[in-house]
Amino acid sequence: MPLLRTLPLSTLDDAAYDRLWPLLDEGERARARRFVFEVNRREYVAAHGLARLWLGRLLGRPPAALAFAPLTPQGKPGLVDAPAGLDFNLSHTDGLVACAVTLEVGTRIGVDVERGERRIGAELATAMFAAEELAWLDARPAGRSGPDLVTFWTLKEAYIKALGLGLSLPTDSFAIALDGPTLIRDGGSLPVGQACRLWVRDLSSGHAAAVAWMGPAWIEGKGQPPTDLVMEEGLADLW
C-alpha cells in the first residue's frame, strides 16, 4: 500500500525543528549547515527529520539510528538494512516537504511536490514532455500554458524518482495521461511484468503532490480492491 506523509513548513515551529536536528546523522547535519539560505536548511532538516521519524515508527526502529545510502547510481536514497519491500522517497519545495513509503516486496515509490501556483514555461514543456503529452496540451484551450503543465511535471518527476533514475531517463521517453492519471507509454523504462500507478493530489497548503508507485503486475490483478494512496500529515503522532 503506498503511503504519503506531508509536512507544511508553516506548521513546523522552532521547538519542533530543534527536536528534529539531533535525529540527523553527522553527514546530514554537515549538509544542512552548508545551505546559504535558512529557508533551504529548514526544508532539508524537515524532510530528513520527517523521513527518520516516520520510517522509525513504521519499522519500530529509533529514528536517529537509521542509516541512509544511495540505492541507485543516480542517487536515490535507500535505507541500510531495509526490510524486504521497503522503498521510500523524499521531496521538498517552497513551504512543504513530503515522504512517500511502500512496504510490499518488489514495489518502488517516488514523490514530487510543487507549489500550486508554480508555472512551467512552454519552451521547457516542449523540451521535456513526450509527444503524446504535448499533443494533449495542444488540443486544450490553454495550449502549452496553464496549470496542466505543472501537473504533468510533478507526475513525470515522481515517475523518474520511483525508478531512481533522475534525469538520466529522458523525460520525453515515457508518456502520462492526466486522465487517471495513467502511464500510457513506458518507453522501456518499466521492467517487464511491472505495473505503475500514479496519483496527483491538491493539498490544503496550496501545494500539489504526485506519487508514482510500481510493483509486480500480479499485485494489481489479484482481485483485491485497487491499491489506493493513504495520506497523512504532520509530525504530531510521530514523536
Ligand X SMILES: CC(C)(COP(=O)(O)OP(=O)(O)OC[C@H]1O[C@@H](n2cnc3c(N)ncnc32)[C@H](O)[C@@H]1OP(=O)(O)O)[C@@H](O)C(=O)NCCC(=O)NCCS
In contact, 96 and 205? CB cutoff 8 Å:
yes
Number of residues that bind ligand X (CB under 6 A): 23
Q: Minimum distance from CB of 196 to ligand X (Å)? A: 15
Q: Does 108 bind ligand X (CB under 6 A)?
A: no
Q: Which residues contact 125 (CB under 8 A, 6 or more apart)?
A: 134, 137, 144, 149, 152, 153
Q: Minimum distance from CB of 50 to ligand X (Å)? A: 11
Residue 53 one-letter amino acid: L
Q: Minimum distance from CB of 222 to ligand X (Å)? A: 28
Name the 3-class secondary structure at 175. Answer: strand
CB atoms within 10 A of CB 138: 9
Q: Does 75 bind ligand X (CB under 6 A)?
A: yes
- Angle, helices 38-59 vs 26-34, to 10°: value is 160
Binding mask 30-49 for ligand X (x = CB under 6 A): --------------x--x--
List Cα–Cα distances, 48 to 24, 55, 82, 206, 216, in angstroms.
Answer: 7, 10, 16, 22, 29
Q: Does 91 bind ligand X (CB under 6 A)?
A: yes
| 64 or 224: CB nearest ligand X | 64
Q: Which residues contact 239 (CB under 8 A, 6 or more apart)?
A: 19, 53
Phi-psi region of 102 (alpha: psi -120 to 50; beta: other; left: phi over 0): beta
Binding mask 173-212 for ligand X (x = CB under 6 A): ----------------------------------------
By CB under 6 A, name the one of 9, 45, 109, 160 that touches ligand X: 160
Q: Minimum distance from CB of 28 to ligand X (Å)? A: 8
Residues of span 118-147 touching ligand X by CB under 6 A: 128
Q: Does 76 bind ligand X (CB under 6 A)?
A: yes
What is the DSSP-derived secondary structure letter of residue 189? -
| 175 or 224: CB nearest ligand X | 175
By CB under 6 A, name the one of 72, 145, 194, 227 that touches ligand X: 72
| 103 or 218: CB nearest ligand X | 103
Residue 183 φ then ψ, to 5°: -80, 115
Grid look-up 535525529 returns 23
| 181 or 224: CB nearest ligand X | 181
Interacting residues toward ligand X by CB under 6 A: 44, 47, 72, 74-77, 89-92, 110, 112, 128, 153, 156-157, 160-161, 164, 166-167, 171
